[in-house]
Structure 1
């Protein structure tokens, strides 16, 4: 019975989030078209709604630890579900993403993404995608901020091992910016797929920045070590122990 009640609460919460996205997105769309501030305000308001509604609708609190960067940098985040997207974006003043190129044609969503400075990248061969990514970021230098990227490339469930891809290291090397790692345990409560959300406290943690100048392989190894070590600590803090 408790599971069924929580599932219904989760369903109502998920519906409310989509309604909030539609209402805020459409309501602020004219402002977003003429001002980047309008686009960012729309995105921030959706993030605030999620953090406000989750505790009383589904019993899920959220916490942001560490020091979010307020300078131009790469933010390399553990990615477990859409909740870490909301939390990381809401914590930095000028976040932007590398997004699938096809999303720029999506009504409303695509325009918001482009207006806040997201960089569209076509899926394809790895070398071509990386070059396009770097070129896109450099061309977007007029929109400074915190470039949020997912080093593993997709959502990875807690306890599942997946390689860290070279794209983040190439950006780090060629942009010459600090890289701020971010750990998370949000996937324990808000899964990659499905309706059900668990009660608890979901955490993202901004870690010590990695300053520019490291060799590519050394950087990638350090990034993985920092993110995975901290994420495992957050998982264990929440009562989850990865199988060996």
Structure 2
């Protein structure tokens, strides 16, 4: 019966979670404008609400594995859907994302991203974008936080492959921080496109950190190997239970 109802449940979930974004966005705007804490509280509340409603509306549970990074650190995460953003943001004390510049013009998202200290990047300018990103990150890290970057630069559906970009290595070298790779299987339950959402156990796993000082090529090779191998293992684990869709 639940399988027959899943399209309706998915649509209902998607509608209500975007309504919640608008309601919280408007309600917290005065506080967010005068205090960065207001923006952080609003976004944490929204992420946890979306995760909570996914559990009881969709049967989509969430598990965070591995030690959650604290303090100033670079987090390089596998990105399969909007849901992994919410899980990572909910888990980290104060996440700041490297994000597409176009998103800064999105209602609510742009305002709150700016207040949180997220770093917009113009992906069309390549070398110039990387140089500006490093400069902006140096300025933003005057305040503590965890800087989250997606090494492939976009959402990648399970089973697809996109090359890893040099951005994480540039930030790793420029900041001198440890880098924590992050694996996930969330794309099996919350696909990159469409409104369908599926029951199961969505996992985000923080892996062993890469200490500062690793040479660039070795760093990128290890980063990709760690993230891809563990993400594949998490997806195989979910599929072994008969969960998700690929």
TM range (shorter): over 0.9
Give the gaps of 5 or more residues in structure 2.
none
Q: Residues of 1 paired with 2:103 and 2:119: CA distance?
A: 11
TM-score by length of 2: 0.94
Partner SS state of residue 164, structure 1: coil
1:183 aligns with 2:203: no
Map of 1:137-152 to 2, 5 A cutoff?
137-152=137-152
Q: Residues of 2 paired with 1:183 and 1:117: CA distance?
A: 24
Number of the residue aligned with 1:226: 226
Q: Post-superposition shift, 1:107?
A: 3.4
Q: Residues of 2 paired with 1:103 and 1:191: CA distance?
A: 20
Q: Post-superposition shift, 1:23?
A: 1.0
Number of the residue aligned with 1:9: 9
TM-score by length of 1: 0.95
Partner SS state of residue 123, structure 2: coil
Q: C-alpha deviations, 1:23-72, integer Å up to 9, x for none?
A: 11111111111111100001000111011101110111111111111110
Number of the residue aligned with 2:82: 82
Number of the residue aligned with 1:104: 104
Q: Residues of 1 paired with 2:2 and 2:135: CA distance?
A: 51
Q: C-alpha deviations, 1:185-212, integer Å up to 9, x for none?
A: 0000000010111111100000001011
Q: C-alpha deviations, 1:68-105, integer Å up to 9, x for none?
A: 11110111000000010000011110101112223333
Q: Residues of 2 paired with 1:118 and 1:62: CA distance?
A: 24
1:115 aligns with 2:115: yes
Map of 1:163-178 to 2, 5 A cutoff?
163-178=163-178
Q: Residues of 2 paired with 1:204 and 1:80: CA distance?
A: 11
Q: Post-superposition shift, 1:135?
A: 1.0
Q: C-alpha deviations, 1:140-191, integer Å up to 9, x for none?
A: 1222200011001100011212111111111101111000000000000000
Root-mean-square deviation (CA, aligned residues, Å) is: 1.4
Give the gaps of 5 or more residues in structure 1.
none
Partner SS state of residue 27, structure 1: helix
Partner SS state of residue 201, structure 1: strand
Number of the residue aligned with 1:157: 157
Q: Post-superposition shift, 1:4?
A: 4.2
Q: C-alpha deviations, 1:108-159, integer Å up to 9, x for none?
A: 3211111111112223232111111111101212222000110011000112
Q: Residues of 1 paired with 2:55 and 2:73: CA distance?
A: 31
Q: Residues of 2 paired with 1:142 and 1:30: CA distance?
A: 24
Q: Residues of 2 paired with 1:194 and 1:102: CA distance?
A: 21
Partner SS state of residue 124, structure 2: coil
8 A Cα contact 2:22 2:108, kept in partner: no
Map of 1:189-204 to 2, 5 A cutoff?
189-204=189-204
Number of the residue aligned with 1:206: 206
